[in-house]
Amino acid sequence: MTFAWHRDAPSGNGGGKGNGSRPSLFGGRRSGGRGPGGPRFRRWRQILAVTTGVVLVGVAGTTLVVWQKYDGLASGLPSVDSLRHYQPPTVSRIYSGDDHLMAELAAERRIYVPITAIPTRVKNAFIAIEDQHFYTHKGIDPLAIARAEMTNLTRADGKRPIGASTITQQVARDMVLDSNELSISRKLREMLLALRIEQTLPKDKILEIYLNGIYLGSRAYGVAAAAQTYFNKTLDQLTVAEAATLAALPKSPSNYDPFRHPDAATARRNLVIGRMFEIGAITSEEERAAMAEPLIPHNARRFGPLANSEWFGSEVRRQLIERYGEDVATRSGLEVHTSLDPVLQNVATRVLREGLVDYDRAHEAWRGPVGHLDADVAADPSSWSHALKTAKAPPGLIEQWRLAVVISPARAEVGWLEDGAPQSGTIVAKDRGWMRSHAVRSGDLVLVEPQAGGSSVGLRQVPGIEGAIVTMDVRTGRVLAMVGGWSFRESQFNRATQALRQPGSSFKPFVYLTAMEKGIPPSEKFDDAPVSYGDWHPHNYEEDNWGPTTLHDALRESRNLVTIRLAAHLGMKAVADMAIRAGLVEQMPHVLPAALGAVETTVLRETAAYASIASEGHIVVPSLIDTVQDRDGHLIWTPQGQTLTLGTMMQAPPTPPALAPPPPSEPVSGDSASGGSGGAVPSAVPPATPAEPVAGSLEVPVVADNRPRIASDESAYQITTMMQDVIRHGTGTQAGEGIDREVAGKTGTSQDFHDAWFAGFSPDVVTVVWVGYDTPRSLGKNETGGRIAGPMWNKMMKAVFEGRPKLSFRQPDGMVLARYDTGRMMAVDAFKPDQVPGMSVALNGFGAGTEALTAADTGAENISDSETDMAAAPAPADTLSAGTGSETIGPNGVPVAKNGQPVKSGATPPAAQTGDIGVGGLY
């Protein structure tokens, strides 16, 4: 093989020897150092390779970081599955007994409406201004985001950047995230959730959630609540302009409030209307008409409590929160049906206020003006009307009264506003004298009540005294009316349920009911004579003594000494057990003053206790709520303890009640002091109950009452008959004036006239009235329950009887009504089959037997050393003496001297007995 070397040919440009190429081993030429494969190009390739590697690493790292960030955001996102069955917080509604809306419980006002019930113009108004591409995007709108960012670049520093949130993003933010934090991470989470929501729910469901959940100001959530709040309309009644007004609110509910900022609200509304035209939701004619429509919001009445129902509603709210918790009670859409009778509630409010005003006017001086206007006041209304509009009225001002300014003290001329218009008049002559107790000058503010048919007004003042009334159905315990004070605005303290007060003598029926349960008849006599227990010297209200007195007379005239002796004979434990079973008290000391009402109870408790007597001895549990339903209409609660079942029975033809004839000669003379039975009294033989229905009997429905009892129906009927005479001839005559129905009741006046009560009932309704000062003090000498509370009870029960049939108290089978001479009057009482009507027999010891009473029987070992400590005495001990050193209590509570002989009823009491009024009932 031969290798031949060839010299390079000269280059075309005359290249020199340094420009040639060396021959290649393979017959080609190798390029020189500056050719394409030279070191310089290798460096560029290296730089490019390194740069590419760095970029790839950066992209990979960035991708990893972004993925980790996304994974962190995505893994921490809440689930959107809850939106499938979304139930926003909704208002709980409380209804009265006639199914009228009484009150609403809600932290936020919301009415949920399905998307099919929302008018198209309302939906289009919100879509036009909030998210025009709602039905085309997948949860986020990139074009809107870009447009918003461009706008934010040109905005001044310090201003909140505008967003581009779609409706879906707003749902994610408000209903799932529940956060309005201004941060990039929150925005990213919102966008991710929006994408998930779009994959989970259809568009219409998303729009339904949005339109029902968006906050639109004035505590209104959702379009339905906002339509009522701003226009007092339902959604289908809204015009295009009104729908646009609502759609203008999400951007800033406070700045576009049509009440506070009508000009800004109108401008924003017109922008919405223009957008609606742009998307084709309305025609050009509709656009022009909507923009020309004036913005006139209607200030709808807030869904507050029904007039005068605040006391009742507040107690219902308290019970709901106690039972379900505040969150469920105010946010779960409960439907609560109550027992409130609005008519009786209004009557109770009026009756209580009239009674308190009458008392205040009779016992208190006028306390002077309630304020003063700094403006110059003249006869011209323009001088005072504007200032009067801004004057603050006292919280006790009621709807019938007006805040007035004194124009001329000499003429007693005042001016006030009636629906914003100035009015003037003069104070009636009878009130001017009352007004003289304080110097009045022009510009002073006073309370007045315009009189009908003229320009005169009555001078008024908020009473310092308080009171309460409760009316209840005796069979079911349903509270029909409840008033807890003068004004709920002035004080939310409910004196019907929260105030613990001494019932005074209104407690006594439960002492006598205990005696009836022990088989003691109403005609039994106990000695009405002075008695002392240590330093306690109780006496009767009248400060006289009657000697041997029947229980009938003692209850009718509220004789304290007979009640004390009866309680001592029964034993205070038995009396306490009766009061506790009736629900009058939760616990009570076993001391004799408690028998006179030296315990604490509430008006509602006493009402239920008296209802237990009226319902023939069955325990009555008070109830304000009839039913509770959840938002889907499912019944979740009804009152417990009302175990009434329906059956049938054979009813015989009506016959007149068995009435025993009076004694043929002298009155009943069974004297407890002597232990004798006196003359015989012919007894009335009760009719025998036939084994088979008598001819003419009819099968009638009957309600079987399986509730537990505090006493038998016979004992309850006995005490009811005795209490009827309290109203006919006793301490409660003012309560019975003008009532031609069977009613029974009892007065109550506590120690030092601090509390005035009247509690009474008909066969179907019970009402209790209490009057007193919040800080206990005397109502005045001789201001008893019969004088103060009795007339209020009378007015209330007359209103109750309107439209109701006349009913009679049911006489239990075997009971006998007998007329007899009590020694003070002819009376009618009920007697059990084993009792001799009108008879009084000697009672030896406690119960059967002849043993003497012990300290444990009387409870006297718990009598305090001073009257101040009596009401707070501890529970009974086992050993202590009940005597005074000069006498003891013998059978039937008659005082027995040391020689064993009964003390004569007319005997002068020992000098140590100063006639101190005992703790407890007076009258």
Nearest to 472 by CA among 620, 324, 687: 620
**H helices present in 215-374, as ranges:** 223-231, 240-247, 262-278, 284-292, 310-324, 326-331, 342-363
285 among known catalytic residues:
no
Q: Which positions ≥6 away from 297 have C-beta within 8 Å? A: 230, 231, 258, 259, 262
Find how far residue 143's CA is from the centre of its chain.
54
Transcribe 25-55 into DSSP letters. Answer: TTSSEE--TTSTTSHHHHHHHHHHHHHHHHH
DSSP H or E run through 760: strand 755-761
- 558, 505 in Cβ contact below 8 A? yes
Distance CA 104, CA 317 (A): 9
Of 96, 339, 383, 505, the catalytic one is 505
Name residue, tokens 């019938």: 400
Which residues partner with 49 through β-bridges? Answer: none
Burial 807-844, CB ≥16 within 10 A → b, else e: eebebbeebbbbbbbbbeeebbbbbbeebbbbbbbbbe
Which value, in Å, is the radius of gyration of the alpha carbons in the chain? 44
Nearest to 448 by CA among 400, 490, 410: 400
- What amino acid is encoded at 278 in this protein? E
- 757, 503 in Cβ contact below 8 A? yes
Name residue, tokens 């001799």: 836
505 among known catalytic residues:
yes
Of 92, 96, 130, 466, the catalytic one is 130
Q: Please give the sequence-ordered ranges of beta strands (E in DSSP) within 462-557, or none if there are none.
A: 466-473, 479-483, 525-528, 547-550
Both tokens of 44, joined, read 């560029």
Distance CA 634, CA 334 (A): 10
**H helices present in 731-834, as ranges:** 733-736, 785-801
Distance CA 52, CA 123 (A): 53
* Residues taking part in catalysis: 130, 505
